[in-house]
Amino acid sequence: MSLLERVRASLPALPPAEQRVARVLLDDPRAFATQPVGELAERSGVSKPTVVRFCRSVGYDGLADFKRKLAGTVNEGVPFVHRSVDEDDKPADLIVKVIDNAVSAFLKYRNDAGTHAFERAIQALSLAGREGRRIEFYGVGNSGIVAADAQHKFFRLGVNAIACSDGHVQVMSATMLGPRDCAVFISNSGRSRDLLDTAEIVRRQGATAVVITASGSPLARLAATGGEQAVLLAVDHPEDYDRYSPMVSRLLHLLVVDILTTGVALRLGPGLRAALQEMKRNLKATRYGGGD
């Protein structure tokens, strides 16, 4: 749980005066991290000792310790590089910060993910796989790479899977879909014109659309109005797609693909496992020494 999430969760249990300090913090965390205790007390309508007691009530040694941790929470990082690092970070700092940022995003997604949406997506993909229908993965730019990874994972399940990252090819491919086919859309921003145009075609063709994107985006809204033929797997994270390289978002999308792959593999049954075992045996023969 992040510092701000901890404060928000602790709010009902705090004394009224400390709640006022908490609300000042939550209204503008960046200002709270830089203002002196006197100004914070004045803005909160409390005494200076109350500001310090608030910091201790939420689990910190005092105001200095709290503000130091808060500064790390609200730090904007290095624009267009990574939201969690600083210009002067050494490799040891980068290792800790980048990994901690990814782990935090994974744990938050684990707690937020909608199991019903995953159930519907896995059911639609499994049905398409069993019936020999088409499963297509659409993404552009960085998301196109994730789509290619999804195609690589799904074709090993013995299903008819392809990935398209070119907008024109996506339009042609979507036009060839029909009922019980599946199109999986992968997008960080959910604002790509190519994907939005393709999603409209998929809807008209009667195929099922599985959408992996940020909630509230145009692509997510399109999925929300698609009825039984659309499933939204919302992936939300603090990474601003206009400001940072897609790192956490890409990892989360790959994670969602892994969940879908695993779910479909289980639904396709024991017969698939025998084929996967044979595939591993054949691959092992291509390696020097026969190792992994």
Structure tokens at 63: 């105001």
For residue 195, is it within any domain? yes
Distances (CA, A) of 180 to 123, 183, 206: 11, 10, 8
Rounded Cα gap, residues 63 and 54, in angstroms: 9
Residues 269 and 133 in one domain: yes
271: left (phi over 0), alpha (psi -120 to 50) or beta: alpha
Looking at residue 243, its pLDDT comes to: 60
Residues 165 and 245 in one domain: yes
Residues 155 and 215 in one domain: yes
Q: How confident is the model at residue 279 (pLDDT cuts 50, 70, 90)?
A: confident
Residues 247 and 121 in one domain: yes
User: CB burial class (10 A; 0-12, 13-18, 19+) of residue 210?
Assistant: buried
Q: How confident is the model at residue 98 (pLDDT cuts 50, 70, 90)?
A: confident
Looking at residue 285, its pLDDT comes to: 79
Give me the domain span that covers residue 166: 110-284
Rounded Cα gap, residues 284 and 286, in angstroms: 5
Could you say which DSSP state residue 245 is in?
-
Q: What are the b/e assignments for 21-36, b being 16+ CB within 10 Å? A: bbebbeeebeebbebe
For residue 290, is it within any domain? no
Q: Which of 47, 74, 101 is the last residue of a domain?
A: 74
Residues 128 and 20 in one domain: no
Distances (CA, A) of 253 to 75, 165, 213, 214, 231: 24, 15, 8, 10, 15
Residue 135, φ and ψ in degrees, nearest 5: -120, 115
Span of 41-50, 121-130, 220-229, 243-252 with lowest mean pLDDT: 243-252
Residue 183 in this model has a pLDDT that exceeds 80: yes
Residues 239 and 156 in one domain: yes
Tell which wins on pLDDT, 80 or 60. Answer: 60
Residues 68 and 114 in one domain: no
- R_g over Cα of the chain: 24
Query: What CATH number corresponds to the domain at position 14?
Result: 1.10.10.10
For residue 225, is it within any domain? yes
Residues 200 and 146 in one domain: yes
For residue 60, is it within any domain? yes
Looking at residue 77, its pLDDT comes to: 61
Rounded Cα gap, residues 159 and 155, in angstroms: 5
By C-alpha distance, which of 141, 233, 224 is closest to 184? 233
Residues 63 and 126 in one domain: no
Span of 183-187, 218-222, 286-290 with lowest mean pLDDT: 286-290
Query: What CATH number corresponds to the domain at position 249?
Result: 3.40.50.10490
Average pLDDT over residues 220-246: 82
Q: Which of 57, 74, 91 is the last residue of a domain?
A: 74
For residue 160, is it within any domain? yes
For residue 90, is it within any domain? no
As for how many domains the chain has, the answer is 2
Residues 67 and 177 in one domain: no
Q: How confident is the model at residue 65 (pLDDT cuts 50, 70, 90)?
A: confident
What single-letter amino acid sits at 278? E
